[in-house]
Structure 1
């Protein structure tokens, strides 16, 4: 019998967190779900755990050959047989409400649902300021509305493909997508994910072909940050440098072609930009490239990585400018305008948050099971 929801996890060498994530999902005791795990770990720890469980709702594959991030994600989605899919990290989990939402989506032939909020959970030692772990619960209302995915995609492109979570675009990473949509993407591009960033690549691809898209305020997942996660590394000033420094290109069987419209340095921001434009080309929607604005992308990269690679970023941005024949005044005015705009937007968000106190902070949350329990108690209290 086809399950209603496939929960997809791609993991490598984070066995403890992956096992805890699986346990937290199994604790829901739902017969509507399956868990699909593509394991690229060097150890057999997760495999042994899954074998001991002997659960018929877990689909598991262990590839011992070292894979790229993208390859492992493709293996994970390939395991799924559910009507709907949600992709989470190996240090994340899902909330019980997701079952009700997917049942509603199935009854109403909805293609995609994007939650505007997630619960953030920092595992112990992920943030040196809070060694015992903590979580944040955003204020939200139970609102659901239909959204224009292509219109939202245009706005995202006009803003440099940065901070996609602020836009009404569909997503499989901490969002809900009908498996039929992902199969269409594979038929067009040859794989479920491409580029260097599976989350932003899939955002663009899904937005281009989904037709019945909804946005909701309520969180459906917990976004975990463990000490070895990319988010934790970013807090420590990692994930930037020369293109040759990117771990994303290691173990690739063929050389990777960086997009001509993205400055040639390694950062989270430029990887998102490159993967987003890669998705547009892979989906054969090249007319959407005209909406892309590089100035917000360069602005955010400068703000985020100025303490690590400022001179490299300026040098590569200049190379992009001269290669495109854009005047120096025009180019750097565009960058500076967007730096100021992003700083003002950040100040406004922080001020609003501080004044309204819309987020609840909970300290000393030692594992993701406790995080789920705390959130569920807060839901009951708010009811």
Structure 2
């Protein structure tokens, strides 16, 4: 890539003291046939050998920046965006991966199906940690590309308390036009808000574009590791003075409130788009119960009925902050039970497909995300997906 020419896309990798994973993440990102991209590694004041790992690649496509002080997740993402040069931006984690040919595919889509936002279903990989072996979480299927109505998905998600919000493209694992992110910064003073910038962006983007294009194949890999799991708890130990949205029940677990806070903050910041839309709090609680998140964060028995009973006992306090109608809550609990049953069946089918490749969830799973990316590319070349 010539220095005088702006790259097509910038891959942003915010990182913090995860050099052992970052090395393999960078290997996946740099393993591209197309050089029309920039990589920004935004180091959140790491105290390990992160800089040495990045410098060892000696690749002119990579820009290393350091915050100089410890920042919140949103602040680090905002800091990183100041160094973006690409027309499109993709944020990935420092334990994630980029598929070979991803830049070529994105370039092709921009030429044939112009859109300010491109998204895709991701492959999933579980790193080995705490004595647990690595696992193949999901090998996403290849489909035809198609257009997505962001307004429709947003209305549905809010009406069902955040259900299926993962269908909304985010700057995480999506390619978003830099001009949209610049427009968000111009309107709100910065690009990312709340303490879950990826979730915030999912509800911010529909205020600037009513469509996106799903490219039909995975361009990135979500990596799950031990530090991924503890990231939320770590943040609130360090930045415990953060104030959640005023309509959220303050006695609810942090791991629950931080998700919905991002949604509500976005709704407040873009009233022109969200003025006629309402968030369904009863459905929100049902979603939390049936996902198991409510039980885990309160350390109560892993029983859905015990969680329902616990919430009903607190309904008077909850109503101080937002609506909580018992009949509506129970209705959405029933709907969630049916949806979870269907999801479990689909997950079993996907698991069998992965085993069909000769690689089970644990046996023979790759030891790092770069090896996993190579495995998936081999499977794709055989036409098995």
TM-score after normalising by structure 1: 0.85
Q: Tell me how far apart the structure 1 counterparts of residues 295 and 203 of structure 2 sit (CA, whole Å).
A: 28
1:240-259 equivalence runs, <5 A = 247-248=235-236, 250-251=238-239, 256-259=242-245
Question: Over residues 196-225 of structure 1, what are the superposed CA-to-partner deviations in whole Å (9 max), with x where a residue is unaligned?
Answer: 211110011111111442124321110001
Cα distance change on mapping 1:224 and 1:2 into 2, 3 Å: same
Q: Classify the secondary structure of the residue corresponding to 1:170.
A: coil
The answer for unaligned runs of 5 or more in structure 1 is 240-244
Q: Classify the secondary structure of the residue corresponding to 1:360.
A: helix
Matched, 1:173 2:172: yes
The two structures, once aligned, show a CA RMSD in angstroms of 2.6
Partner of 1:348: 342
1:106 is displaced (CA, Å) by 2.8
1:139 is displaced (CA, Å) by 5.1
Question: Over residues 70-120 of structure 1, what are the superposed CA-to-partner deviations in whole Å (9 max), with x where a residue is unaligned?
Answer: 1111112222111111111110011124223321343243111121x2111
Q: Tell me how far apart the structure 2 counterparts of residues 74 and 209 of structure 1 sit (CA, whole Å).
A: 18
Partner of 1:277: 264
Cα distance change on mapping 1:106 and 1:43 into 2, 3 Å: same
Q: Tell me how far apart the structure 2 counterparts of residues 8 and 123 of structure 1 sit (CA, whole Å).
A: 21
Partner of 1:137: 138
The answer for unaligned runs of 5 or more in structure 2 is 301-306
Cα distance change on mapping 1:318 and 1:304 into 2, 3 Å: farther
Partner of 1:242: none
Question: Over residues 328-355 of structure 1, what are the superposed CA-to-partner deviations in whole Å (9 max), with x where a residue is unaligned?
Answer: xx71222222222112111112123435
Q: Classify the secondary structure of the residue corresponding to 1:6.
A: strand
Aligned residue among 307, 319, 341 for 1:321: 319
Range 280-289 or range 77-86, more displaced: 280-289
Matched, 1:185 2:184: yes
Q: Tell me how far apart the structure 1 counterparts of residues 160 and 215 of structure 2 sit (CA, whole Å).
A: 22
Question: Over residues 169-208 of structure 1, what are the superposed CA-to-partner deviations in whole Å (9 max), with x where a residue is unaligned?
Answer: 2221111111111111111111111012111100111111
Q: Tell me how far apart the structure 2 counterparts of residues 148 and 61 of structure 1 sit (CA, whole Å).
A: 36
1:37 is displaced (CA, Å) by 1.1
Matched, 1:296 2:300: no
